């Protein structure tokens, strides 16, 4: 016996499948965006530096096309050209970041956003 689309929809509604799907989250991942917001210099895996602006969680290098955000991590570059690998897995939106680079027991601490 062949089932029509109308019959399949009627069966789904009467069995409660549609109601279940309505209240089930479509994605089981957390609700965080893992994004940068503002102007940041990011380094791609091939060591090129790009500038990202506004809000982003995906950025392909303008020189080589590689994705700069890998496994919820991105490399931010401070004004002194230090690389900072930032894990965004616990972050909703990152708007500011101070450089953590240590040199001779002194932390750079320059703002990575906005330069």
Could you read off the pLDDT of 18-53 as tens digits, one per residue? 555 555 554 444 456 668 999 999 999 999 999 998
Average model confidence (pLDDT) across the chain: 85
Given a cut of 70, whether residue 2 has pLDDT beyond it is: yes
Q: Distance between CA 39 and CA 42 in Å, rounded? A: 10
Those residues whose C-beta lies under 8 Å from the C-beta of residue 106, and which sit 6 or more positions away, are none
pTM above 0.75, yes or no: no
DSSP 54: S
d(CA 6, CA 14): 12
Are the beta carbons of 36 and 97 closer than 8 angstroms? Answer: no
Beta bridge partners of 35: 93
Predicted confidence at residue 60, as pLDDT, reads: 94
Q: What is the pLDDT of residue 31?
A: 56
């Amino acid at each position: 016996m062949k089932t029509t689309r109308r019959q399949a929809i009627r069966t789904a509604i009467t069995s409660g499948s549609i109601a279940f799907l309505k209240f089930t989250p479509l994605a089981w991942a957390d609700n965080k965006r893992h994004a940068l917001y503002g102007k940041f210099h990011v380094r791609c895996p091939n060591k090129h530096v790009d500038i990202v602006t506004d809000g982003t969680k995906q950025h392909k290098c303008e020189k080589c096309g590689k994705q700069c955000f890998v496994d919820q991590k991105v490399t931010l570059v401070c004004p002194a050209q230090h690389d900072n690998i930032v894990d965004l897995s616990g972050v909703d939106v990152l708007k500011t970041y101070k450089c953590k680079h240590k040199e001779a027991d002194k932390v750079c601490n320059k703002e990575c956003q906005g330069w």
